[in-house]
Copies of this chain bind each other. A is one copy, B any other.
Amino acid sequence: MEIFYAKQILGDEIFLDQEESAHCVRVLRHKTGDEISVVDGQGTMMRCRLTDDSPKGACATVLERFPGWGGHPYSLTMAVCPTKNNDRFEWFVEKATEVGVDQIVPVIGERSERRVFKPERSHKIALSAMKQSLKAQLPIVAEPVSVKDFIKGTTLTAGGDRPLPLPAASRPYPGKCQRVGAVATTATQEIKMICYCFEGETLRRSIEDVLAEAAEGANITIMIGPEGDFSPEEARLAVENGYIPVHLGPSRLRTETAAVTAATAVYLHYIK
């Protein structure tokens, strides 16, 4: 199954950009009148009929909408320190998107070796992973912020060519089944976790132990530190701001492996 992504949707008219139009018309040879599947990146898949097969700007009209298509029954924000090797962070972005994530925030810690991050490439990787894994919601890759600003709840800016994040509560319900007209639900339960390696003054719980309390629709945030771990000050600030200190078990994991393991733990909790 091939899906297309459209940013521009006016009522029941959808407009594919040049890249998507070329792929649809030149590569896949779709003609006016063909049925195609289009996602809006906000959680809705639309069965459409192609009304204009121009390879530079194809248009289609919506026949049926499937809100929450390929979604997940939780809202997950992964705040991860960019790795020295960019490929490793981008690999995390791809895998987290396949499994199911809502927001990816590159956070710069006091001990981060990499202090500059451009979200554009990660945004493109999230886009193709969304299409490849048949999801309708495009994870937001935010502009980088410092670990401390993120903990203090600074307003995030979406990186790449993306609208600003919707508050979790107003997002369409990402149900497992693809129901038409699924209604929005409010993710009341807030669970914030910080993974670090050193034993601080606070004893850490296992992520499995914490997730055992996560209910459907929970709003989950997980912070993963840089190669050099979070600083004790960052960890303390997080705990003061309601973050639960967690560990990911006895294995010593790389930053990107820890991030994917944590996102996978959330995903697996909800398929039990």
Contact = CB atoms under 8 A, between A and B. Distances in A.
Interface of A: 70, 72, 91, 95, 98-100, 132-135, 176, 206-209, 212, 248-254, 257, 260-261, 264-265, 267-268, 270-272
Contacts of A209: 272
B252 A134 contact: yes
7 contacts: A98-B254, A206-B272, A208-B271, A209-B272, A261-B267, A264-B264, A268-B268
B257 A99 contact: yes
Contacts of A257: 95, 98-99
Given A99-B257, A257-B99, A251 B267 contact: yes
Contacts of A135: 251
Contacts of A207: 268, 271
Contacts of A271: 206-208, 248-250
Contacts of A70: 250-252
Contacts of A264: 260-261, 264-265, 268
Please name the 5 residue pairs, one residue from A and one from B, whose CB atoms are nearest each other, closest first: A249-B271, A208-B272, A176-B250, A264-B264, A134-B252
Contacts of A212: 272
A260 B206 contact: no
A134 B91 CA distance: 22
A176 B252 CA distance: 12
A261 B98 CA distance: 11
Nearest to A269: B208
Contact of A260 (B133, B250, B260): B260
A133 B206 contact: no
Contact of A133 (B91, B208, B252): B252
Given A98-B253, A98-B257, A251-B267, 9 more contacts: A99-B253, A99-B257, A133-B253, A206-B272, A249-B267, A249-B270, A264-B264, A264-B265, A268-B268
A265 B270 CA distance: 12
A122 to B, nearest CB: 17
Contacts of A98: 251-254, 257
A127 to B, nearest CB: 16
A70 B271 CA distance: 29
A267 B207 CA distance: 12
A265 B264 CA distance: 8
A133 B91 CA distance: 18
